Structures are given as C-alpha cells and as structure tokens.
Amino acid sequence: GQQVMQIPQYQHVQEGEDFTTYCNSSTTLSNIQWYKQRPGGHPVFLIQLVKSGEVKKQKRLTFQFGEAKKNSSLHITATQTTDVGTYFCAGRGNSGGSNYKLTFGKGTLLTVNP
C-alpha cells in the first residue's frame, strides 16, 4: 500500500535558524497537503500542492512538490517560537480506491530555542 515517509523525525533549532522537513511517497501522488499540530492540539491544514514542480509560499514558509509528484518539502526561514509543533505531510494516491485515502507521514517535531 501507499506509504509516506517523512524526515527528520525531530529537529531542534535556535530561533532565527532555518528548518526543512522532507516527505517521500512510495507511489505517485495526485496531491499533497501539509498540516501543523501544536503540542496538545490537533492537526491544522496549512496548504495543498497539486501540480508537478509546484512551489507555494506563506510568509516564511515555502512548500515544494517534486517533479515526479512523489516528494515534497517544507522550508521555514528564520524560525520563531510560534513555529513549534509537528509538521505532517499527507498524500492522496493517484489510482484506484486509494484516491480518497489521505495518508500521513509520521511528522517532524520542530522545537525552537529562544
């Protein structure tokens, strides 16, 4: 079945440093979504990427979807303490009944030292 792998599992940075998390799928994806879960909270949708090679920005966050639509990344520039949380990628399959199933990576827990 479809698997979505995410690295690193944990990342600790000093405030002001950059942060990147990477997501890889075992199969081609129709789209990929990113969610953020604050400690003690629930996942909250950040963005969706659909097109091959797509790049989207939200303030200090940059999201990329790979050309083969099998990988994605989230880059945060100049981290702030408010960026603390677990970042998940989630992908939908490209064929058959797996289309509706949104498979999440295990997430990257980001901690920021002020």
Partner 1 sequence: DSGVTQTPKHLITATGQRVTLRCSPRSGDLSVYWYQQSLDQGLQFLIQYYNGEERAKGNILERFSAQQFPDLHSELNLSSLELGDSALYFCASSQSGGMGEKLFFGSGTQLSVL
Binding region for partner 1 (CB under 8 A): 30-31, 33, 35, 41-45, 48, 50, 88, 90, 92, 97-107
Q: Is the dihedral of CA 20, 109, 88, 60 positive or negative?
A: negative
Supply the minimum distance, in Å, between the C-beta of residue 8 and partner 1. Answer: 14
Which CB, 97 or 114, lies closer to partner 1?
Answer: 97
Which CB, 4 or 112, lies closer to partner 1?
Answer: 4
How many angstroms separate the Cα of 49 from the Cα of each of 45, 88, 114?
Answer: 12, 14, 31
Supply the minimum distance, in Å, between the C-beta of residue 15 and partner 1. Answer: 26
Supply the minimum distance, in Å, between the C-beta of residue 104 and partner 1. Answer: 4
Which CB, 48 or 77, lies closer to partner 1?
Answer: 48
Q: Which among 91, 92, 90, 56 has a CA at the least distance from the CA of 75?
A: 56
Beta strands at 71-76 and 19-25: parallel, antiparallel or unpaired: antiparallel
Which CB, 42 or 59, lies closer to partner 1?
Answer: 42
